[in-house]
Structure 1
Amino acid sequence: MTQGFDYDLAIIGAGVGGHGAAIHAVSCGLKVAIIEAADMGGTCVNRGCIPSKALLAASGRVRDLRNAHHLKTLGIQLGSVDFDRGAIANHANTIVSKLRGDLTNSLKRLNVDVIQGWGKIASAQKITVETDKGEKTITAKDIILAPGSIPFVPPGIEIDGKTVFTSDDAVRLESLPKWIAIIGSGYIGLEFSDIYTALGCEITMIEALDQLMPTFDPDIAKLAERVLIAPRDIETKVGLLAKKIIPGSPVIIELADFKTKEVVEVLEVDACLVATGRVPVSKNLGLETVGVETMRGYIPVNDKMQVLAAAGEPIANLWAIGDVNGKMMLAHSASAQGIAAVENICGRSREVDYLSIPAAAFTHPEISYVGMTEPAAKELGKAEGFEVASVKSYFKGNSKAIAEGETDGMAKVIYRKDTGELLGVHIFGLHASDLIQEAANAIAQRDSVNTLAFRVHTHPTLSEVLDEAFKRAAGAAAGH
C-alpha cells in the first residue's frame, strides 16, 4: 500500500476497460477503488455487445427456422415458426442482469472498493465523487480514466427514445415497428438490420457516404451487400444525409444530398434507429484542473496510456483507456489498454499492438477483420517502398460449409510481396468472428504467409478457409 494515499489505484468507469484494469491491478498487489456513475459493466454489458448478441442469437434462429429452402436441402420440414417479441427482449435482459451481477461480485471477491457516483479529478491524485449521500473525496497514487462513450446524435436529429432512438434503446426491443429507417451502415446499423429483418420488419438504410459499409474492406463490403442486404427487405440510400429527423407517428426524415446539403427527399417511416457512431464521455471529468485539453472530445494519451497535457507532456500518475482516448473503440481494446496501463503503473513497460486487435460484426453470416484493409496497406506500401498483394479463398469450396449448407462467404488475406508478412485478414462467412483469432495471433507475431502455409488445420473445419488462403498467398509469393 502506497503511503499517504487511500488507494494505490482509483479507476473512473466500471465498463469492460475499467473492470479489466481493476482485476489486473489486484493481481499485481495494488489496493483498488472503482467509481461508476451508472450500471456496472458500462456500455458493452448493459447497452452494447452483450444484449445485441442475445437479440442476434434469437432473431438468427428465427431466420434459420423460416428458411424453408435451406432446411429442405438438409431434409428438414417445419410448420410455421412463431416468436414472442417480449420473450426475446427478456432473454437479452436476463443475460445483461446476470453478467452485471457477475462483474460486481468478481470485484467484491477481490476486495475492490466499488463507489457509486460521478467521479471527477479534483487535483493530481485526488478525486471527488458525487454520490447519493453527498460529495466524497478519495486520494490515489494513480488514476485511470475509463468513462467510455455514448451514441453520437448528429445535429438536426431529435431523439425521443421511442420512435427515434439510438442503439441504447434499440437493445431493449420494446417494439417491432413495421418500417424502420436506419441511419448509418457501420457494424451497429448492419447488426440491427439483421435483427429487424429476421423478425419481419422492413428497413431503409441511409448512408451519407457514397458507398455502403465504408469502413470495411471494399471486397468484403461488396459481398456482404450481396448476402446481407440485397435478398432481404432492405432498401438502401447512399450519398444522402439525414438533415432533420422529427419523432412521432410517422417519423419524418429530411434527406439531403451529402455534397450540396440540399434536401432531395422526405421519408415518412414508423421508427428510426440512429447508428452514426459514438462519441467519448469526457465532459465534467475535471480535466481542466490538471491542464488537459481534449481533441474532438477525446483525451490525448501516449502509447503507454499516459494522459498528455496541452503541451504534449505526459501527466504523472494519470492514465486514460478505452473509448475515451479514441485509439480503437472496441471493448476488448479497452481491456487490453487497461492491462497495459496497469503494467506501466507497476514499472513494466507495455504498449498495445493495435494492428493485431480483431473486430467483428455479428450479422448472419458474420464479418470479421484484423489489420489493414487493402487500400490502407497499399498506401503504407507506397510510403515505405514495398508492394502489397492479396488473395481470396471461398467458403463454397470448404467441406464443413458445404455440409452445413452455409457456403456464402470468403476470406481475404493481404500481405507484403517481398517478405510475405501478413498485413490484414478479412472474413465474411459462418463463424467469421471465431475464425479471425488465428489471423490476429499471426499478425501479433508478425508471421509471414510462407510460414502460415505450413500450419496444419483440423479437417473438416471452417478454419481450412484460412489455410487455403495462406497456401494461395505463399504460392503467389513464391511465384508458383
Structure 2
Amino acid sequence: MSDAFDYDLVIIGAGVGGHGAALHAVKSGLKTAIVEADVMGGTCVNRGCIPSKALLAASGRVRELRDDHHLKSLGIQVGQVGYDRSAIADHAKNLVSKIQGDLTNSLTRLNVDILKGWGRVVGEQKVAIDTAEGEKIVTAKDIILAPGSVPFVPPGITTDGKTVFTSDEALKLDWLPDWIAIIGSGYIGLEFSDIYTALGCEVTIIEALDQLMPTFDPDIAKVAQRVLIAPRDIDTRAGLIAKTITPGNPVVIELADRETKEVVEVLEVDACLVATGRIPAAKNMGLERVGVELDRRGFIPVNDRLQVTRNGEPVPHLWAIGDATGKMMLAHAASAQGVITVENICGQDHTVNYMSIPAAAFTHPEVSFVGLTEPAAKEKAAAEGFAIDTVRSYFKGNSKALAEGETEGLAKVIYRKDTGEILGAHIIGLHAADLIQEAANAIHQGQTVTDLSFCVHTHPTLSEVMDEAFKRAVVVPV
C-alpha cells in the first residue's frame, strides 16, 4: 500500500456485493475498509433474500402438511396442522441475526476495518463518514460504491408501514390479514402470495401490464398461473394500475385503466403490499463532488469494467457495484461485480457476463431462469441474422419427481439452431432454483446443447429434467 493513503480500498456499503468485494480484496493483498450506515448484510440479508426464504421455508411446510391429497398419495396421514405466526417471524429474524454475525466475523477475522456511518465521496480518492462522533475523513487508492437499493413506491400510493407496506415491513410478519392486495406480479409479489396463501390469507394480485408475470418467459408464466395462482385463494387484476392506495381499516384501492387513468374499480381490503420493484439508493453519495451525474433513472453510470463514468469517461479509482448500477438487481450479481471490480483494481481486465447470471423465485414450486426469454431471443436472432429453436422437458416424466409426488413443471432451453449456443433456460418445478445452475455455468463457459447432451447425470435425480432437454435439442449443421 502507498503511504499516501489510509487504505488501498474503501468500500461504501456492506451488503452482499460490498462484503464479497472486501473478502476478495483481502485475498488480493489490499488493505481494506468497509463503510456501513445501517446493518451488515444490506438488503439481501436484512430485508430481502434471507428473511424471505425463511418465511417461504416455514410457510411451505405448512402448505405441504395441509395437502392431504398429496400426503395420502405417499401413504402418509397427519392430523390437524397449525402454526405460530410469531414463531415463524422469529425464525426469519433469528436467521438474519446469525448471518449478520457471520458476515461481521468474516470481515474482522481478515482485518477489514468496519467503519460505521454514512459514507460519501468528497473528492478523488477521499471519503467522508458521518459518524456518531462527527465527520471522519479517510483516503484510499480506490473506492467502490455499493449503496444498494430501496423499495419503489409509485405516485398516488401512501404507505403507513402497517396496513400499506413494502416488502421491508412485510418480512417482519407482524400480522396476517384476512385479505391482502399485492401490487405487482414479479419475484417479490409471487413469493409473498405464496407465503400469505400458505398461511390462510386471501390474496388479490394487481398487475399494471396486460398479463401476469410479464418479465418471465411466456411458457413459464402460463404454467405458473396454472400451478401457483389458479389452485390457490388468489384473485387477479391485470391491465389495471393502483391509482391511489389509502391506508386504514379498510385499505382503499382505486384501480384505474392503464391508458385512460379512469377509475374502474374500488377495492377495500385489510392490507396492501406494494411490490413494484426497487430503485437505487444512489443519492447523497457525494458524486457531484467529482462531477458525476446519476442517469435519468437514478443509477450510477458505469462502464463494462464497473468504473464510474463522467460524461462517458471513467473517473480514476472510482468504481460502483450492485443494485445502484442498474445492471442486474440481484444479490449474487452484486457479489460477482464486487469480485470482478477488485480484479480490475489489481490490474486485470474483466467484465461480467450478465447473460450467465441466473435468477429465481422461491415459490412452491420454484421458478428460475438464465439468459433470454423466447421473445427476446427471437428479437436478437432477427437482428443478427440467425435462427433459434426451443426444447422442453417435463417433470411428469422424471423418476425422482414421480417418487416425490411433485410432477408439475417443465424446463425450456432456447438455443441457436446453427451452433447450439444456449441463449436462455427457464424452469418451473421442484428445486428449479438449483437446477438452473447447470445451464448458467454452460452459458458462462460457452458450452453448447450438444456438449451438454453428452454429460452424464445421476439417476434418479431431478437433474435429468435438464439432461432430457439437452438431448432433445438438435443442431442443424451449416
TM-score (norm 2): 0.99
- The SS at the match of 1:182 is strand
* Equivalent in the alignment of 1:137: 137
- How far 1:412 moved relative to its partner? 0.2
- Partner amino acid for 1:255? L
- Partner amino acid for 2:171? V
- Partner amino acid for 1:162? K
CA offsets 1:432-459 (integer angstroms, 9 cap, x no match):
0000010101111121111111111000
Could you tell me how far apart the structure 2 residues matched to 1:200 and 1:143 are?
A: 48
1:94-105 mapped onto 2 (5 Å cutoff):
94-105=94-105
Could you tell me how far apart the structure 2 residues matched to 1:277 and 1:53 are?
A: 18
What's the % identity of the aligned pairs? Answer: 74
- Partner amino acid for 2:106? S
Do residues 196 (structure 1) and 196 (structure 2) align?
yes
* Equivalent in the alignment of 1:318: 318
Q: Is the Cα–Cα contact under 8 Å of residues 417 and 476 in structure 2 kept in the other structure?
A: no
Could you tell me how far apart the structure 1 residues matched to 2:398 and 2:30 are?
A: 50
1:216-235 mapped onto 2 (5 Å cutoff):
216-235=216-235
* Equivalent in the alignment of 2:183: 183
- The SS at the match of 2:473 is helix
Do residues 300 (structure 1) and 301 (structure 2) align?
yes
1:391-430 mapped onto 2 (5 Å cutoff):
391-430=391-430
Could you tell me how far apart the structure 2 residues matched to 1:447 and 1:422 are?
A: 8
Q: Is the Cα–Cα contact under 8 Å of residues 418 and 476 in structure 2 kept in the other structure?
A: no
Do residues 238 (structure 1) and 268 (structure 2) align?
no
CA offsets 1:390-439 (integer angstroms, 9 cap, x no match):
01100000000000000000000000011111110000000000000101
- How far 1:259 moved relative to its partner? 1.2
Could you tell me how far apart the structure 1 residues matched to 2:90 and 2:78 are?
A: 25
- How far 1:3 moved relative to its partner? 2.2
Could you tell me how far apart the structure 2 residues matched to 1:154 and 1:138 are?
A: 37
* Equivalent in the alignment of 2:15: 15
1:37-56 mapped onto 2 (5 Å cutoff):
37-56=37-56
* Equivalent in the alignment of 1:269: 269
1:143-222 mapped onto 2 (5 Å cutoff):
143-222=143-222
* Equivalent in the alignment of 2:90: 90
CA offsets 1:71-119 (integer angstroms, 9 cap, x no match):
0000011110000000000000000000000101111111111011000
Could you tell me how far apart the structure 1 residues matched to 2:165 and 2:210 are?
A: 24
- The SS at the match of 1:406 is coil
Could you tell me how far apart the structure 2 residues matched to 1:302 and 1:12 are?
A: 19
- How far 1:386 moved relative to its partner? 0.2
Could you tell me how far apart the structure 2 residues matched to 1:216 and 1:2 are?
A: 49
CA offsets 1:256-299 (integer angstroms, 9 cap, x no match):
00111111111000000000000000111101011111111000
Q: Is the Cα–Cα contact under 8 Å of residues 393 and 466 in structure 2 kept in the other structure?
A: yes
Q: Is the Cα–Cα contact under 8 Å of residues 11 and 22 in structure 2 kept in the other structure?
A: yes
Could you tell me how far apart the structure 2 residues matched to 1:27 and 1:478 are?
A: 46
- The SS at the match of 1:458 is coil
- The SS at the match of 2:34 is strand
* Equivalent in the alignment of 1:125: 125
Could you tell me how far apart the structure 2 residues matched to 1:315 and 1:343 are?
A: 17
- Partner amino acid for 2:277? G
- Partner amino acid for 1:297? G
* Equivalent in the alignment of 1:109: 109
* Equivalent in the alignment of 1:259: 259
Could you tell me how far apart the structure 2 residues matched to 1:430 and 1:375 are?
A: 25
Could you tell me how far apart the structure 2 residues matched to 1:260 and 1:228 are?
A: 31
Q: Structure 1 residue runs of 4+, over 6 Å off? A: none
Could you tell me how far apart the structure 2 residues matched to 1:19 and 1:83 are?
A: 35
- The SS at the match of 1:121 is strand
* Equivalent in the alignment of 1:285: 285
Could you tell me how far apart the structure 2 residues matched to 1:439 and 1:450 are?
A: 13
Root mean square deviation of aligned Cα: 0.7
Could you tell me how far apart the structure 2 residues matched to 1:61 and 1:381 are?
A: 43
* Equivalent in the alignment of 1:382: 382
- The SS at the match of 1:328 is coil
* Equivalent in the alignment of 1:360: 360
Could you tell me how far apart the structure 2 residues matched to 1:408 and 1:283 are?
A: 44
- Partner amino acid for 1:145? L
* Equivalent in the alignment of 2:469: 469
- Partner amino acid for 1:124? E
Could you tell me how far apart the structure 1 residues matched to 2:181 and 2:413 are?
A: 34
Do residues 338 (structure 1) and 334 (structure 2) align?
no
Could you tell me how far apart the structure 1 residues matched to 2:378 and 2:119 are?
A: 44
- How far 1:478 moved relative to its partner? 4.8
CA offsets 1:284-325 (integer angstroms, 9 cap, x no match):
11010111111110001001000000x200000000000000
Could you tell me how far apart the structure 1 residues matched to 2:117 and 2:2 are?
A: 24
- Partner amino acid for 1:5? F
* Equivalent in the alignment of 1:57: 57
Could you tell me how far apart the structure 2 residues matched to 1:226 and 1:240 are?
A: 21
- The SS at the match of 2:468 is helix
Could you tell me how far apart the structure 1 residues matched to 2:307 and 2:191 are?
A: 34
Q: Is the Cα–Cα contact under 8 Å of residues 415 and 422 in structure 2 kept in the other structure?
A: yes
Could you tell me how far apart the structure 2 residues matched to 1:314 and 1:451 are?
A: 39
Could you tell me how far apart the structure 1 residues matched to 2:2 and 2:241 are?
A: 54
- Partner amino acid for 1:301? V
* Equivalent in the alignment of 1:369: 369
Could you tell me how far apart the structure 2 residues matched to 1:312 and 1:262 are?
A: 42
- How far 1:360 moved relative to its partner? 0.4
Could you tell me how far apart the structure 1 residues matched to 2:2 and 2:41 are?
A: 28
* Equivalent in the alignment of 2:454: 454
Could you tell me how far apart the structure 2 residues matched to 1:455 and 1:102 are?
A: 37
Could you tell me how far apart the structure 2 residues matched to 1:152 and 1:73 are?
A: 44
Could you tell me how far apart the structure 1 residues matched to 2:163 and 2:405 are?
A: 38
- Partner amino acid for 2:65? L
* Equivalent in the alignment of 2:327: 327
* 1:478 to 1:383, Cα distance in 2 relative to 1, 3 A: closer
Consecutive unaligned residues in structure 2, runs of 5 or more = none
Could you tell me how far apart the structure 2 residues matched to 1:466 and 1:340 are?
A: 29
- Partner amino acid for 2:416? R
- Partner amino acid for 1:211? Q
- The SS at the match of 1:191 is helix
